[in-house]
Amino acid sequence: MRQTPANLIEETAISAWRLTAVLYLIIPVVLLAGSIAAFVYISWPWWVIAIAVSLLLIDIIFSVFLIPKLRWRRWRYEVFEQEVYIQHGIIIRRRTLVPMLRVQHVDTKQGPILKKFSLATVTISTAATTHEIPALTEEEASGLRDRISELARVEENDV
């Protein structure tokens, strides 16, 4: 089996993923507020609200505090002359090799949350699918995009 890829993504990815999780939690909080209003006005059983609050707290603990840190620890990548090696996954570890011969184009993308943290994602497109290396610094993402693009062109010209 291959060695683990050497490069980690930026540690500020944890903060970006936490902010994303908090934004996604707005909907469950609104639903919980509706449940509490129903409890007060319709006389729902107290255990319904207790279950809803418990589920929301569990969701907050996992999605805001545990999962972003675990995701960051598991994300690794490395660029070689012949391929890009990507490894990620919390429970199921996924290892992907993207041959430079198959690379069609390489992009960087940055949404508002990544921009707030000065991060960007590199996307590597092949005929079959798109692979991502998330949460790199803007400079690192730009340099990686250019390097992969250059290596893919060299491979194409050598064939």
pLDDT exceeds cutoff 60 at 157: no
pLDDT band at 49 (very low <50, low <70, confident <90, very high): confident
Query: Are 35 and 28 contacting, i.e. CB atoms less than 8 angstroms apart?
Result: no
Q: pLDDT tens, 5-42?
A: 999 999 999 999 999 999 999 999 998 888 888 778 88
Q: pLDDT tens, 104-156?
A: 999 999 999 999 999 999 999 999 999 999 999 999 999 999 999 999 986 55
At 86, list the tokens. Answer: 């990507």
Buried residues in 76-97 as b, exposed as e (16+ CB within 10 A): bbebeeebbbbbbeeeeeeeee
Out of 2.30.30, 1.20.120, 3.30.43, 2.30.29, the CATH code matching 79-151 is: 2.30.29
Q: Which residue shows structure tokens 């207790």?
A: 50
Q: How far is CA 42 from CA 34, 39, 46, 129, in A?
A: 11, 6, 11, 50
